[in-house]
Amino acid sequence: MDTKPLLSAIESELQRQISRLDASRTEPFHEMLTYHMGWTGEGAGPEATGKRIRPLLVLLCTSSCGADWESVLPAAAAVELVHNFSLVHDDIQDNSDKRRGRPTTWVKWGMPMAINVGDALFVMSNQAIIELKEKHPPETVVKAAEILHNTCLDLTRGQFMDMSFEERKDLAVEDYWPMVSGKTAALLSACCHIGALLGGGDEAKQDAYRAFGHYLGLTFQVQDDILGIWGDEALTGKSAASDLVEGKNSLPVLAGLGANGKFAARWKQGPIRADEVQELARVLAGEGGYETATAAAKQMTDLALMSLREADPQGEAGDALFALTDKLLKRSQ
Amino acid sequence: MDTKPLLSAIESELQRQISRLDASRTEPFHEMLTYHMGWTGEGAGPEATGKRIRPLLVLLCTSSCGADWESVLPAAAAVELVHNFSLVHDDIQDNSDKRRGRPTTWVKWGMPMAINVGDALFVMSNQAIIELKEKHPPETVVKAAEILHNTCLDLTRGQFMDMSFEERKDLAVEDYWPMVSGKTAALLSACCHIGALLGGGDEAKQDAYRAFGHYLGLTFQVQDDILGIWGDEALTGKSAASDLVEGKNSLPVLAGLGANGKFAARWKQGPIRADEVQELARVLAGEGGYETATAAAKQMTDLALMSLREADPQGEAGDALFALTDKLLKRSQ
């Protein structure tokens, strides 16, 4: 299945949702949102929009359950709007000045405006999910909204843990999973769950799709953690080992802390300098950090593929879902 | 009708909604929300919770349509959660360090955490409105959610205008109404609209209730503007004329700018010092600022009461609604 028409429809649907602010009194506000979405301003274009993996998952899950993907475009827009709301607020919270190679919203318009941009994207995700009522029965809309809202609470939980972990030096591997379940896996899981629900899948099928999204999200996060320390800079587009300098509580780092060796001793002393990352990454690998993380990535990949086979996605969309999964899970190679 | 049992039920419902975060890993996060809501921490108590006017309006509107107010408690919680989400983000955006006499959330836990507290309150308002499904048909739940979400977009529009107006010195009275419609009137209007919808009111009745809330909100805002310049400090709890020092684009100020006299000349020169507010408030009154604002307050009050009479609220709840309106609209005396 060629996913280009789906990606093009997603982009149009997102623009339609965000056009709610396209009125004379709020035009500059509208522009802040279209900039963040990658459509306008300096550096606008495909590089700036992101991959739209989440809305694509919604459409493919619906379609592989045998239903029409066009009828669920508002749900696809909703998950992408949630993702982008969280990015805008995350960039403020992390004090990040670049996103996809461009100045972040708060850098361009200031922190107060950027908070409001995130809030508006969040509101629009709620409006989008309710728009499903045009083509789906109200009890299904209520169920989809419920899944989305529960997921958003998971996002705030994950964000809380992430921020509160920054100050702690006593973290262990078991602290990792609840944090990344909220930060990354919850929304991918919701995409697949909502897609299957709207596609008419029964409870068991919905559960399998949801589990697939969950493990896909966890794999994705663990791979990101590995790349953030031992990745190829040319491939990832960010300097390898930068996660060490940023003090990120990634899985390899928590595994290294558990080993309580040279890495742990250095980590607890305070911020890592850029000139010591190469050596420290080597020490961490020697103390089991790399092995633990790659084993976890392998395990999560297996669980994701097992869940997807259980979901038994049908037709061309099913093939596309396996192909997308394959592409996502092998992105480090 | 004694509103105490309603207010007590509102408080319990809010606590139940917010208890979603009451788990071991998120307990400190839960505490940030209970602090903001006025239940825990220094200065906790009735003074710190606010008056819960919005949820009370929901319950009274439902009840005065002849339905059971207990079945709409989740909707009452939803509007109060929206209100509080906007307060938490507003305090960050305005750099306000006090709210109801207590340090604001961002002052206590930092800006990044406070953004997340606001986001969580917002998520919970969405979850609360969907909980109506336990006692209302799904099409009604979808309609209530739609009203709430549209209102939230109005809030972000109003917030955008408010923030972008800060830098402008060329504002006129006609810029005032779109801004305060979003900032204040939209949510009060939604409270009455949702209350009437859930109470089983027909379209015409819902429209009347909605209009009542809208004009009540506008009156409330204009009165607040008048008190912020010529109010009695002992009565309002904030220093009178502080709105002038803060540069707030209130209705009297915009009317004064329109008069283009001594007040406008001074306003355009830059920030007002505390030692000149008394004289400047006198100048503004002399140039029509007070008269314009009081005339507008009178007009909006008349429209609010006319709409309420058209809504024709029934029974004890109807009496309570008139009594509450009377109390709110006369608060400056």
pLDDT at A5 over 90: yes
Domains and CATH numbers, chain A: 1-135 (1.10.600.10), 140-312 (1.10.600.10)
Q: How many other C-beta atoms are found inside a 10 Å radius of the C-beta of residue A20?
A: 18
Which 198-217 residues of chain B touch chain A by CB within 8 A?
Answer: none
Q: How far is CA B168 from CA B114, B163, B203, B265, B267, in A?
A: 28, 10, 40, 14, 11
pLDDT band per the 50, 70, 90 thresholds, residue A241: low
Residue B174 near chain A (CB below 8 Å): no
Work out the angle at residue A90's Cα, subtended by the Cα atoms of residues A87 and A94, and round it to the nearest 5 degrees: 140
Chain centroid to Cα B86, Å, comes to 9
Mean pLDDT in chain B? 94
Tokens matching residue B220: 């409330």
Residue among A126, A145, A160 whose CB faces B29 most closely: A160
Closest by alpha carbon to A257, among A280, A230, A240?
A: A280
Mutate which: B33, B126, B174, vs A, most A CBs within 10 A: B126
Minimal Cβ distance to B159: which of A93, A116, A126: A116
Nearest to A138 among B92, B122, B142 (CB): B142
Q: Is B7 on the interface with A (CB under 8 A)?
A: no
Q: What pLDDT does residue A242 have?
A: 78
Q: Is A7 touching B (CB cutoff 8 A)?
A: no
DSSP of B190-227, one letter per residue? HHHHHHHHHTT--HHHHHHHHHHHHHHHHHHHHHHHHH
Q: Which two tokens stand for residue A328?
A: 């996502």
Task: Give the Cα separation of A153 and A156 in Å (integer).
Answer: 5
**Alpha carbon distance B29, A105 (integer Å):** 26
Q: What percent of chain B has pLDDT over 90?
A: 90
B189 has a pLDDT exceeding 80: yes
Distances (CA, A) of B194 to A192, A227, A311, B98, B128: 32, 50, 40, 31, 13
Across the interface, whether the CB atoms of A149 and B127 are under 8 A apart is answered yes
| Beta pairing partners, B103 | B98
Query: Which candidate from B120, B145, B160 shows the least CB-CB separation from A156?
Result: B120
- Put simply, the answer to whether A89 touches B123 (Cβ < 8 Å) is no
How far is Cα A263 from Cα A256, in angstroms, rounded to an integer? Answer: 6
Chain A residues with CB-CB distance to B120 below 8 A: 153, 156
Under the banding of pLDDT at 50, 70 and 90, the label for residue B233 is: low
Q: Cβ distance A297 to A226 under 8 Å?
A: yes
Q: What pLDDT sits at residue A290?
A: 96
Residue A92 contacts residue A114 (beta carbons within 8 Å): yes
- The confidence score (pLDDT) of residue A330 equals 79
Over 90: is that where the pLDDT of A239 sits? no
Residue A120 forms contact with B (CB below 8 Å): yes
Q: Give the residue from chain B lying closest to A144, CA to CA.
A: B130
Judge contact between A313 and A322, C-beta under 8 A: yes
Q: How far are the Cα atoms of A205, A230, A268, A281, A294 from residue A285, in angstroms, in the given order?
A: 40, 9, 17, 6, 11
Under 8 Å between Cβ of B320 and B57: no
Residues B42 and B35: their CA atoms lie apart, in Å, by 8
Taking a contact as any Cβ pair under 8 Å apart, which residues of chain B between 77 and 106 contact chain A?
Answer: 89, 92-94
Using pLDDT thresholds of 50, 70 and 90, give the confidence band for residue A233: low
Contact B293, B255 (CB under 8 A): yes
| Number of inter-chain CB pairs under 8 A, A vs B | 136
* Contact between chains at A119 and B156 (C-beta distance less than 8 A): yes
pLDDT for res B333: 40
SS3 content of chain B, % helix, strand, coil (to 5): 80, 0, 20
Torsion over CA: A38, A43, A46, A47 (sign): negative
| Average confidence score pLDDT of chain A | 94
Residues of A with Cβ-Cβ distance to B155 under 8 angstroms: 119, 123
Q: Which two tokens stand for residue B209?
A: 């209730």
The span from the CA of B223 to the CA of B294, in Å, is 8
The Cα A173–Cα A254 span in angstroms is: 5
**CB within 8 Å: B116 and A163:** yes
B-chain residues near A94 (CB < 8 A): 112
β-strand pairing of A102-103 with B102-103: unpaired
Examine the pLDDT at A328 and tell me if it is beyond 90: no
Residue whose C-alpha is closest to residue B34's, from B143, B168, B124: B124
**Tens-digit pLDDT profile for residues A146-156:** 999 999 999 99
Interface subset of A 176-195, CB within 8 angstroms of B: 178
CA-derived radius of gyration, chain B: 20
Instruction: Please tell me which residue, B231 or B140, carries the higher pLDDT value.
Output: B140
When mean pLDDT is compared across B61-65, B93-97, B328-332, the lowest value belongs to B328-332
Task: Give residue B120's Cα distance to chain centre.
Answer: 19
Measured in degrees and rounded to the nearest 5, phi and psi for residue B235 equal: -85, -45
Range of weakest confidence among B129-138, B172-181, B236-245: B236-245
Q: What are the DSSP E strand ranges found in chain A?
A: 98-99, 102-103
By three-state DSSP, how is residue B1 classified? coil
Q: Taking residues A246-254, report their average pLDDT.
A: 93
Distance from CA of B149 to the nearest CA of A (A): 6
Q: Measure A45 CA to nearest chain B CA, in Å.
A: 26
* Shortest alpha-carbon distance between residue B146 and chain A (Å): 7
Confidence (pLDDT) at A155: 97
Confidence at B123, pLDDT banded by 50, 70, 90: very high
Closest partner residue to A92 among B28, B115, B157, by Cβ? Answer: B115
| Bridge partner list, A103 | A98
Mean pLDDT within B129-153: 98
Q: Which of A67-81, A94-108, B222-236, B317-331 has the lowest mean pLDDT?
A: B222-236
Establish if B122 touches chain A: CB-CB under 8 angstroms. yes
Distance CA B311, CA B61 (A): 9
pLDDT at B331 over 90: no
Rounded-to-integer distance, Cα B261 and Cα B283, Å: 9
Which one of A21, A29, A116 makes the best mutation probe of the B interface by having the most chain B beta carbons within 10 Å? Answer: A116
- Does ipTM surpass 0.85 in this model? yes
Answer whether residue B6 shows pLDDT above 80. yes
Distance of CA A155 to the CA centre of its chain: 10
Q: List Cα–Cα distances, A122 to A16, A316, B165, B241, B287, in angstroms.
A: 15, 32, 23, 36, 43
Task: Give the start-end residues of each E strand in chain B.
Answer: 98-99, 102-103
C-alpha pair distances (Å), A117 with each of A111, A113, B183, B302 = 10, 6, 15, 36
Distance CA A59, CA A64 (A): 8
B257-267: average pLDDT: 95
Rounded CA separation B333/B231 (Å): 10
Give A40's DSSP letter: S
Residue among B29, B163, B178 minimizing CB distance to A112: B163
Is A142 part of the contact surface with chain B (CB cutoff 8 Å)?
yes
* Mutation site for A-interface testing, chosen from B93, B104, B123, B133 by largest number of A Cβ within 10 Å: B123
Does the distance separating the beta carbons of B157 and A145 come in below 8 Å?
no
Provide the residue count of chain B: 333
Give the angle B121-B123-B125 at the CA atoms, nearest 5°: 70
**Which has the closest alpha carbon to A225: A174, A293, A173?**
A293
Does A156 contact B89 at a Cβ distance shorter than 8 Å? Answer: no
Give CA–CA dist B137/B139, Å, rounded: 6
Tell me if A144 sits within 8 A of A129, measured CB to CB.
Answer: yes
Residue-level pLDDT at A332: 47
Cβ under 8 Å to B: A residues 152-171: 152-153, 155-157, 159-161, 163-164
Q: Among A112, A120, A145, whose Cβ lies nearest the Cβ of B156?
A: A120
Q: Report d(CA B188, CA B190) in Å as an integer.
A: 5
Q: Do A130 and B122 touch (CB under 8 A)?
A: no
Is residue B99 classed as helix, strand or coil in its secondary structure?
strand
Bridge partners (DSSP) of residue A99 are A102
- Tokens 């850029």 correspond to what residue? A274
User: Which residue type occupies B203?
Assistant: E
pLDDT beyond 50 at A43: yes
Q: Is the per-residue pLDDT at B98 higher than 90?
A: yes
pLDDT tops 90 at residue A234: no
Nearest to B292 by CA among B215, B212, B225, B216: B225
**Which residues 277-316 on chain A approach chain B with CB closer than 8 angstroms?**
none
For A132, the closest chain B residue by CA position comes to: B142
What CA–CA distance (Å, rounded) separates A69 from B5?
Answer: 49
Nearest to A102 by CA among A44, A158, A31: A44
Task: Give CA torsion, residues B174, B175, B179, B184, to 10 deg.
Answer: -40
Identify all chain A residues contacting B115, using CB atoms and an 8 Å cutoff: 89, 92-93, 115, 118
Query: Which pLDDT does position A329 carry in this prediction?
Result: 84
